């Protein structure tokens, strides 16, 4: 009996491993296909002046955000996402900055912004949108990053990017939800 059980475990483990490898391979191909076919949204690019005004307002109100950035936090940013349930993310803006930022946020529209991060170096990451593609079930997360010093970094797969000007980068991350 122990022999049959050991044999069963070996076969089961091998089958599970092969299933996982096959699943990962098909997931990777789906991500590559979405990555290759992805086009940056012109609507986001057209709203760059509004995003730029939003970031200028955020930076002008940096002291309101800075006092909430913890030095010991590895991310070292004020993270704002009003619909978030993450305890490390703020769902409300600092009172002094809120009336100045909300009008830009509203003009951009909820379909083109769902939050932002403000970093110690005055760079800002805008969360544009996150979606799951229908057919391939690939997660696509679109972002805009503002680099106050113009130090834009090139991104590599599974991220795709385009520099919009000296300070702005539009970039997208592609991923497949894992089997485990």
Instruction: Give the separation between CA 168 and CA 161, rounded to whole angstroms.
Output: 10
CB within 8 Å of 24: residues ≥ 6 apart: 178, 179
Shortest CA distance to 126 belongs to which of 110, 137, 150? 110
pTM, full prediction: 0.81
Interval 73-115: pLDDT, tens: 667 899 999 999 998 899 999 999 999 999 999 999 999 999 9
Backbone region of residue 5 per phi and psi (left: phi > 0; alpha: psi in -120 to 50; beta: other values): alpha
Q: How confident is the model at residue 9 (pLDDT cuts 50, 70, 90)?
A: very low
């Amino acid at each position: 009996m122990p022999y049959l059980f050991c044999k069963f475990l070996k076969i089961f483990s091998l089958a599970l491993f092969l299933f996982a490898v096959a699943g990962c391979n098909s997931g990777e191909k789906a991500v590559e296909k979405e990555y290759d076919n992805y086009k940056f949204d012109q609507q986001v690019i057209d709203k760059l002046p509004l995003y730029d005004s939003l970031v200028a307002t955020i930076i002008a109100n940096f002291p309101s955000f800075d006092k909430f950035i913890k030095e010991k936090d590895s991310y070292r940013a004020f993270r704002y996402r009003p619909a978030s349930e993450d305890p490390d993310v703020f769902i409300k803006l600092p009172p002094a900055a809120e009336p100045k930022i909300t009008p830009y946020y509203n003009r951009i529209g909820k379909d083109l912004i769902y939050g932002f991060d403000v970093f110690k170096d005055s760079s800002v990451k805008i969360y544009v949108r996150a979606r799951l593609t229908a057919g391939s079930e690939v997660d696509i997360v679109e972002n805009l990053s503002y680099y106050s010093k113009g130090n834009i970094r090139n991104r590599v797969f599974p991220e795709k990017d385009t520099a919009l000007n000296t300070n702005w980068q539009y970039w997208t991350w592609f991923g497949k939800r894992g089997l485990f």
